[in-house]
Amino acid sequence: MPCDEPISMRAVEQHASASGIQRVTLGANGRVVGIGAPNGASPAQRRALAARAGGCIIPVCDTPTWATDVHQVLPWRNGGATHADNSARR
């Protein structure tokens, strides 16, 4: 959906964190020459987190595992790696 109003950099960072980002490399002529893997949890990482935590990590939350999202504890913009040790479901 197009947005006619400017949005804050914080909103952009939150969207990238929640939705994942994907590196696209362009050649000198503007053609796509490479597409990297999305910056998000892999299916194997999601299974590992489900086995470790079982679901949402917020103490009062009873959301089942299948309905949770994977979030980085330390965001990628602050140097956090996309790794199960730096991830939690909520």
Domain membership of residue 72 (yes or no) is yes
Burial profile 25-42: b = 16 or more Cβ within 10 angstroms, e = fewer: eeeeeeeeeeeeeeebbe
Inside any domain, residue 4? no
Specify burial of residue 62 (Cβ count, 10 A radius: 0-12, 13-18, 19+): exposed
Q: Domain count for the chain, please give it.
A: 1
Q: Are 17 and 72 in contact (CB under 8 A)?
A: yes
Q: Which domain holds residue 62?
A: 9-89
Instruction: Say if pTM beats, i.e. exceeds, 0.85.
Output: no
Residue 25 lies in a domain: yes
Region 24-31 average pLDDT: 84
Residue 38 has pLDDT above 60, yes or no: no
Classify the phi-psi angles of 26: left when phi > 0, otherwise alpha if psi is within -120 to 50, otherwise beta.
Answer: beta
The yes-or-no verdict on residue 36 having pLDDT over 70 is no
**Residue 3 within a domain:** no
Q: What is the mean pLDDT of residues 50-75?
A: 79
